[in-house]
Structure 1
Amino acid sequence: MGRGPELEILGGALRRRPAVIMVEGEAGIGKSRLLRETAAAEAARGSRTLMTACHPLRAPFPFGPVLDALRRTGDWLPPPDELNPVTGELLPLLPELTGHLPMPSAGAADPRTERVWCMQAVRALLEAAGPVTLMVEDLQWADEATRDLLLMLARDPPNGLALVLTYRRDKRRRGVPVLGTAYRRPPGISGAEIQLKPLTESDMQQMATAALGPRATPRLVRVLFERSAGLPLVAEEDLITLYERGRSSALFNGAPSDDDDVAGLESSEVPRGLREAVSERVAGLSEAGMAVVQAAAVLAVPAPEALLAEVADLDPEKGTQGLLESLRSAVLIESSPTLYGFRHALDQQAVYRGTVGPRRLELHRRAIKALWAQNIPPLVEIAHHTRALGDRQAWLEQAHAASDQAIALGDEGTAAGILREMLAERSLDPQLRSRAALDLSRIAVNSVDYAATVTALRQIVADPQLHPATRGEIRLNLGLLMYNQATDPYGLHEVEQAVTELEQQRPELAARAMAALAVREGDEPVAEALAWLERAERIMAVSGSRGARAAVHASRISLDAYLGDPEVWQRLDALPRDDDDLEVVRQTARALYNAAEGALLVGHDERAAALLGDCGRLARRVGSLLLDCYSRSTLLVHAYLAGEWAGLEEKYSALRTEFPDMPFLETQRALVCGRLAAARGQLARATEEFTSVAESWSKRGGVYMCITLTGLARARLTDGDAEAAWSVTASARHVVRQKQAWVWAVNLLPVSVEAAVTCGRHREAVELTDEMERGLAGRDAPAAVAELHLCRGILRREADPAAAAEHFDQAAAIYRSIGRPYEEAGAVESTAHVLTGTDPGRAASGLTAAADLYARLGAAFDAARCQERLRALGLSRPSARGRPGYGDALSPREHEVAQLLARGASNKEIAQALFLSPRTVEHHVAHTLTKLGVKSRDAVRGALDRKSREPRTPVNER
């Protein structure tokens, strides 16, 4: 009742797949009822639906709720040999699907890698079982792994999947997104955001009339409404009580009067509470039924029949009798096959609070005994029951053991929650406090609950009783967490302070902190970074730790590669790649990645690709998901620079699905996609992508901030606002000057010099170029040298066009040797521009060559600009044989329009990209849709994909 609009919205969203629907509402508001009614409607239509729920107390079993749902998919799957082989990774977790899934692989090297494989397997299984609707309730209680899995599915659902997620806001996790990180539905995925509100009094009237008929008087409805405050669950419980009371009364005295119904409700001890309503229904249970219900309330999570009977202290026969009775009375439900619990958390709380204290304690003791007897004792649950007994010391010991178990199973989110609870104990034993804080700090890098973890660690490091070396390690991990996850510069201050606390008693750890400070982003001078490294190297000279020495050596190589040191490549070749010490191999992989990133910055692109390949192989060997992700993402950056643009956005989307919580991956994706959008003339989208990076890196600075601001400045130049472009790059120029890191001022200097010259700042442009030339002395940075030639060409194009053309030609040749066709085309175009007045023939050849290069890349905006320039100068040559006829095939111009439509460009963006009038664009769009046989712009991409698979036929010219 009262949920007609929500049912319509939810049902409509399910008919447009893939879909992600979020349903928010407080406890008892009717989320479960909405899903049950929707599932019934879907079943009537023959659709497949899986329902599952998260629970507030669970053992560390990653993906548990989703796996519970997948156990019921066997009959929907094709034969195992037709399934994606990765689905076999689920077989050990889903033995019920034996015979339905392929055999699993040998297994992953570590729990985190295995977790990623399982996530991929779940997606593949849902795709094979589809179309299917997966409904997950109470997402606020999901473990970290389940949140990661659902976030991946929400970002990249299989085509036939509809994902319905219900949750309520948890006041204790205020500000933390329900999926662990902010989520916005990607393009092409439908869905809805449904927020359930309390029922109105009118809704309550309909609900009461449906349950009680004519007994639902306005007076009774008013009492129901006031008691429930519009919560359907509370009203439902009251209506069940009234219905049962009326049925009993009818047997002896006839139907109760309105006064009797109102008096019965008003006489309840807690008018608005649920506890009395639930207690009234439980009161009719036998002793065995009551014992089972109380055992379920104490266990707090769905449990099998045998465990319920054991905790209730019943023999198997009595246990079965009590369970059947509780199920018939609807006090308990079968929440998943052979597991029994309460329909709602409020029911569980009502029964638990209504159980007298001595009985509760007895049940908790029996629960501990029964859980310890299991093959793998669920230590999280045991710790919960120990705490409920009031044995604080025993709880702390069990809690720490539970956190160890969770870490070993790869469920670091559960471990972090337990450790934070322990650290909240004011009188915690100092030794145990230190151990718990160290454990929390060591896993903090993977924590989703950033704010809570930082708060807990800050409180710990402020404890004056903490041992200095322990405080130093915790502070180091805290600082790295703050800097790496939140780009908080204060994190670096914590790392520096950790050096002071660690240097005397933990010198090797202090050296690692120094090495981290040496390769940080920001505007610190290179001399400061070198000083940190030299301190770390002095400590490592007498260290026996090969892993620590490897970490410092990796930082040295990383810094030298970023600065264009010509000798770094030999040292890279000498790094151990097959060492037996995995920590040494991990540090080698880190050095290879950083050096590859440096190589891309300075212009050694082929070497960078080889280093990234080596890094990826080593990362997979040591189980480093971070480096595996980073190396694959940066290979896509290399592909962009090499002009391999086809499918780049899709490849980033797939990688983001595989690694949903890697902010750096999102940074690289936004920068590449922003530059692609700019090349296609989609300046609004490009600006949006660059701005998103600028906002997230504003505090951090460094090379990615420079790349971002350069992209924004180039967009301003394209719009004709040179003053804004000069202003945008001011902070980036400051960083480069401060660090004296001219080798990685990627495209910054040519854009800055162009802006300066255009808005009359010629002297500043000359000074900037001279500074760059001095800064490149002795450095191996071919890309920076090419950019220096571009700057010299810009400065001389008015006074000496021939000299400027020579500089642009030098830049084009360098870019050609590096393997960067887009930059090469830009330099060729610049040469043509300066020669239009003195050598129009060569200018025409240059503009034609640049346009061809741009067109092959897919840079429609740049290609159209060259063609427009040719026409404006009267340099284009008409075809002697007339214009070709294309019939039903797309003309080259229509193909350009189709490509832009497929990427979501508006008519205005197409006009800007191709230098066309709005009316001409409308004409081309209409012809393109007709030739592709589609009615909407949204269908263009699919039509192009289909055409690309058709055999090509020659075009006849007339």
Structure 2
Amino acid sequence: MAGTERRPGRAAEQQGSASGSASGSASGSASASGFAFVGRERELARLVDLLTSRPAVALVQGEAGIGKTRLVAEAADVLRARGVGTVTGGCHPLREPLPFGPVIDALDALGPLLPPGARLGAATAALAPLLPRLADRLPAPPAEPAGPGEQRQAVLHAARALLAAAAPVVLVVEDVHWADDATRELLLLLAGSLPEDAALLLTYRGEEVHGPLLGRELRRPAGTALGDLDLHRLDRPALAALAGSVLGPDGARQVTGALYERSHGLPLIAVEDLITLEARPGAERRPELLGVPRSLREVLAARIERLTPDAAALVDAAAVLAVPAPEGLLAAAADLPADRAAAALTEALERSVLVEHGPDRYGFSHALARRSVHDALPGPARTRLHRRVLALLTAQDPPPLVQIAHHTKALGDTARWLEHARAAADRAMEVGDLGTAALMLRQIVDHPGLPADELGAAARSLAEAVAYTAEAGASTGALRRIIDTPGLTPAVRGEIRARLGNILRLSLGGSHGVAELEEAAVELAADNPRHAAKTLAVIAAMDTGDATAAERRRWMDRALALLERVDDPGTTAVVHTNLLVSLPVCASPEVPELLAALPRHSDDPKIVFCTVISLSNAAEIGCCTGQDAQARAWAEESAALCARAGLDGLAAYAHSYPVLLDWTTGRWTRFDRSLAAYRLRFPDSPVADTGLLAAARGRIAAARGRTALATEHFRRALDQDATSVLALPSAAGLARLQLDHDDPDAAWRTLAPALRLLRRRELWPFAFDLLPTAVDAALRRGDRDTATALAAEHAAGLEGLASPAGHAEHHHATGLLADTPAAAAAAFLRCRDAWQDIGRPHPAALAAERAALAGPADAAAPLLTAAIDTFDHLGAVRDASRCRRHLRTLGPVPRTPGDPADALSPRERQVADLLAEGARNKDIAAALYVSERTAEHHVAAVLRKLRTTRRALRRPTP
């Protein structure tokens, strides 16, 4: 659940009022609300199921403001759509005298549910004097009034008859904890004898009920469904959804944390806060600045009025103490002897004014309840209590610094408050209680007149605390407010702004945070060049974002210039680590030498950390540029360093590259096993289903004929972050599938963002089929000029760089653009040889296939046969089938002599491989370029020869 209607005239449950008039409605409580219904989906489904199993009795309990009325309204809406009517009555502590009032209020609204024109039988006569809106439909009342006992029975029979006439129907009575004895007895009798197509739904507050809800235990009558629902408070995700329905996603991210702290998940408070916040400009939407909701004040006031003086004094002491406290401390603060304090505490608990928070710890259910009582205390009484509590706390060993600071501030002793607040914040940071530290530091930063050095120290600590204690949306808002604090020096402001930029960068990706980081570097440059250099190096090496390669080079040049003013090995390591992944340096022939010079042994763990990242990044770049042997060595060394230095967080990256290399080097069966083992070892790996591994899985699936699965892998990687360098191979893979379906326009649309990224970032050394696919797509669209220009840019971008795979792809593009068949075949053969030198059999075989189709017919058969052998070895069924089709156009293909009669033919082996991949007949037909009917025959033959089933043949998915 969440939310109530925004108009003020809702029921007392939703507004927290203890009074009001009952209302009945044939359509039930309105469910149209400005707030989303969240966090109660299971309860709603269960309640609807129960009320559908008529006759039924449903009991819904929960504290005031928990959302019982909204849940009932939502259920009524669902039932109404199914043709089931709902009528509602409510119990109130101050209602005017009316026999069986809540039930009568509901029954009086049954008119629209009764059959048109039908007059009701004599059994309903007892209700004639009580239901004025049904007077014309009811028989005349009895001539002589009945006694109390007879009247109850008469009303019971009449109510049953009226509900039966209006069925299917649900009778709702809310707030039964306030029901009078007569109403409770009537409800008990009615629950035991409901008409066949009617249900009874009762809501109540469990804390207000002492003993059985209806005076006697309610037992499930034979043939009647009976169920209880206990509503609990909303969790943070539900509150975020509730806030989002009013303030939008961005607004919800800013307020959810504070909203939860204020409401502790009670929808009543959250809704009232949101109503107030919605009317304010975005910058002023700060829940922590709101007062106590009126509804909560009224509920607590009504409960406290019924307390004895001792219990009230104990509650006042608990409000001033501000945190759950043991019974002895409460007694001393209230100045009560032990025996009277024990009785007072019991009373406060029974009245649900205080709650138990743990063994011998008592306080309020949430902070706003405590604040409501505290603020209602007269000033002199509140001051006396604070002084008494401060004396008690100061005498404790060790003294509770946070609480002492709170009470000194409440007494107006600013000097002592600052002293204790600083000590409390320092202690909280020491023990890792960043939430408490943030609370104290925020108060210090907001204190006027602090010296600049103290303000800066507190602001830096506060920035550290909020960055780690709040979700990204809340922490960014808090950090922006800290940055705007008057009096901060540029260096302090820069430190905090850099923290903000990094949070935005890591949580939102893309170009988010870059502007903040660049501005922070300017603020830091004069007084903190070390931090400025690291900040500039980070944005220069970011994998995502809109910055051009030229901009990144300028940032890196500035970082290197600042490094000359810094004598710090740790900073040097960070800048050099980021330098290694800044293009075009990443493909420079100097990279092996730079990596060899990195420190492998250091007493500074941060330096070892940077070395591990450098080696891991180099391994990734090696995979992208075709330096496979070096990439494997760098990955293995990175993994070994991770194990030796205990860098478990980086190990998932280091161990992913050998898995990737199993794909590039053609060990695809091993790739499947390696990926499965990798998932088991690193179940939370951020790279298992994205980036290069997603592209690898897509390429293998496409080669095996699983085009739908391949598309899924490619799209998942692109959806993750299309501005990442590592998304380029997935864009190429998806476009290649679109070309295979003869749709060059769709392929070009897929490639366009990747090509913009390619040019902007000057990613020419990265080689995962993007350039050849783009040239092929442009040519098929009849745009030779664009294809030629792309190839020329690519050649210029590779000049002087170490990218064996990039040069192989350039040969591929040259073959596509060649003017003569002989030139094309020669270029494709150079491409094949380049891939073979790197050790990548699949692209080498694809290049051989291209050479066979481009060159003379007498050279085609050997090239195609060699390609088929490679594809068969890899399990690239679709590629092998395509080459066999080409080969058949050259003449009959000789069969291998001596095969046993029941051995699988080459085509059947392909079918078996596809079945092992989970392919359907439709997939097999597409992969083998045959009809579905032919594919069915092949599948039947394979399963018969192998004496197996599809399920048994399918291999596990990694």
Question: Pick from 828, 834, 859: which aligns with 1:839?
Answer: 859
CA contact (8 A) 1:241 1:277 kept: no
2:587 is aligned to 564
Say which of 759, 762, 766 aligns to 1:744: 766
Match of 1:646 in 2: 672
| 8 A Cα contact 1:934 1:943, kept in partner | no
Structure 1, residues 301-341: CA drift from partner, whole Å, max 9, x if none?
Answer: 77776776676667777766666666666666666677666
> Partner residue of 2:525?
503
Alignment of 1:62-461 (within 5 A): 202=86, 216-219=102-105, 225=174, 235-236=204-205, 240=209, 273=295, 431-442=453-464, 449-461=471-483
Q: CA deviation at 1:811?
A: 3.2
CA contact (8 A) 2:89 2:105 kept: no
Q: How does 1:486-497 map to 2 (within 5 A)?
A: 486-489=508-511, 491-497=513-519
**CA shift for structure 1 position 738:** 4.5
Residues 800-857 of structure 1, C-alpha deviation per residue, up to 9 Å, x if partnerless? 25x54444344344434434344344334434444583334314413422331331xx
8 Å contact kept, 2:916–2:954: no
8 Å contact 1:656–1:665 — kept in the other structure? no
- 2:602 pairs, out of 550, 561, 579, with 579
Aligned with 1:728 (options 745, 750, 764)? 750
Native 8 Å contact 1:512 1:548 kept in 2: yes
Matched, 1:823 2:792: no
The aligned residue for residue 788 of structure 1 is: 810
- Counterparts in 2 of 1:844 and 1:620: CA distance versus 1, 3 Å: closer
Structure 1 residues 340 and 459 mapped into 2: Cα distance closer, same or farther (>3 Å)?
closer
Identity %: 34
1:350–1:453 CA distance, 2 compared to 1 (3 A): closer
The corresponding residue for 1:766 is 788
What is the alpha-carbon distance in structure 1 between the residues aligned to residue 947 and residue 403 of structure 2? Answer: 60
Task: Write the distance in 1 (CA, Å) between the matches of 2:448 and 2:717.
Answer: 41
Q: CA deviation at 1:467?
A: 1.0
Which has the greater radius of gyration?
2
329-338 vs 586-595, greater mean Cα deviation:
329-338
Distance 1:245 1:477, change over 3 A: same
What is the count of residue pairs matched by the alignment?
Answer: 733
Mapped partners of 2:203, 2:448: distance in 1:
38
Label 1:878 to 1:584 Cα distance change in 2 as closer, same or farther (>3 A): same
Corresponding residue of 1:163? none
- Which amino acid is the alignment partner of residue 487 of structure 2? Q
Give the alignment partner of residue 589 of structure 1, picking from 612, 624, 630.
612
Cross-structure match for 1:518: 540
**Structure 2 alignment gaps of length 5 or more:** 2-33, 51-61, 77-84, 93-97, 110-171, 179-200, 217-291
Supply the AA of the counterpart residue of 1:766.
Answer: T
Q: CA offset at residue 416 of structure 1? A: 6.1
* 1:286 CA displacement: 6.4
Structure 1 position 704, deviation (Å): 2.9
> Which residue is 2:740 aligned to?
718
What's the offset of the Cα at 1:278?
6.1
Q: For residues 632 and 473 of structure 1, what CA distance do their matches in structure 2 show?
A: 34
Residue 871 of structure 2 is matched in structure 1 by 851
What is the aligned counterpart of 2:566 among 531, 543, 547? 543
Partner of 1:120: none
Please state if 1:799 is matched with 2:820: yes
Contact preservation (8 Å) 1:228, 1:272: no
Three-state SS of the structure 1 residue aligned to 2:671 is coil
- Specify the alignment match of 1:149 in structure 2: none
> 2: distance between equivalents of 1:649 and 1:388?
60
- The CA deviation string for residues 435-474 of structure 1, in whole angstroms up to 9 with x for no partner, is 3442355577757622333333334444563212222222
Paired with 2:616 and 2:538, the residues of 1 have a C-alpha distance of 15
Within the candidate set 627, 643, 661, 2:650 is matched to 627
The Cα shift of 1:790 comes to 1.9
TM-score by length of 1: 0.61
Residue 195 (structure 2) aligns with: none
Task: Name the SS of the counterpart of 2:672 in structure 1.
Answer: coil
> Alpha carbons of 1:430 and 1:912: their partners in 2 closer, same or farther (altered >3 Å)?
farther
**Larger deviation, residues 729-738 vs 364-373:** 364-373
Equivalent AA in structure 2 for residue 658 of structure 1:
D
- Structure of greater relative contact order (alpha carbons < 8 Å, 6+ residues apart): 1
Q: Against the structure 1 CA distance between its residues 722 and 30, is the aligned structure 2 distance closer, same or farther, given a 3 Å change threshold? A: closer
Per the TM alignment, residue 687 of structure 1 is displaced from its structure 2 partner at its CA by 4.2
Q: How far, CA to CA, are the matches of 1:773 and 1:33 in structure 2?
A: 60
Larger mean CA deviation between 688-697 and 422-431 belongs to 422-431
- Distance of 1:505 and 1:512 partners within structure 2: 14
Q: CA deviation at 1:383?
A: 6.9
Q: Flag the 1:218–1:742 CA change in 2: closer, same or farther, 3 A.
A: same
> Which residue of structure 2 lines up, in the alignment, with residue 553 of structure 1?
576
The one-letter code of the counterpart of 1:723 is D
Change (3 A) 1:739 1:344: closer
Change (3 A) 1:488 1:804: closer
1:498–1:510 contact (8 Å) kept in structure 2: yes
Which amino acid in the other structure matches residue 104 of structure 2? P
**Equivalent in the alignment of 2:244:** none
- How far is the alpha carbon of 1:493 from its aligned partner? 2.9
Judge conservation of contact 2:624–2:766 (CA < 8 Å) in 1.
yes
Deviation at 1:564, TM superposition (A): 1.6
Q: Is the Cα contact below 8 Å between 1:514 and 1:535 reproduced in 2?
A: yes
Whole-angstrom distance in 2 between the partners of 1:873 and 1:338: 91
Equivalent-residue separation in structure 2 for 1:603 and 1:826 (angstroms): 16
> 2 CA distance for matches of 1:307 and 1:645?
65
Compute the TM-score of the two structures, normalised by the length of structure 2. 0.61
Segment drifting more, 371-380 vs 610-619: 371-380
Q: Distance between the aligned counterparts of 1:942 and 1:352, measured in 2? A: 72
Q: Report the secondary structure of 2:205's partner residue.
A: helix
- Judged with a 3 Å threshold, the aligned counterparts in structure 2 of structure 1 residues 422 and 840 are, in CA distance, closer, same or farther, namely same
Q: By how many angstroms is 1:602 displaced? A: 1.7
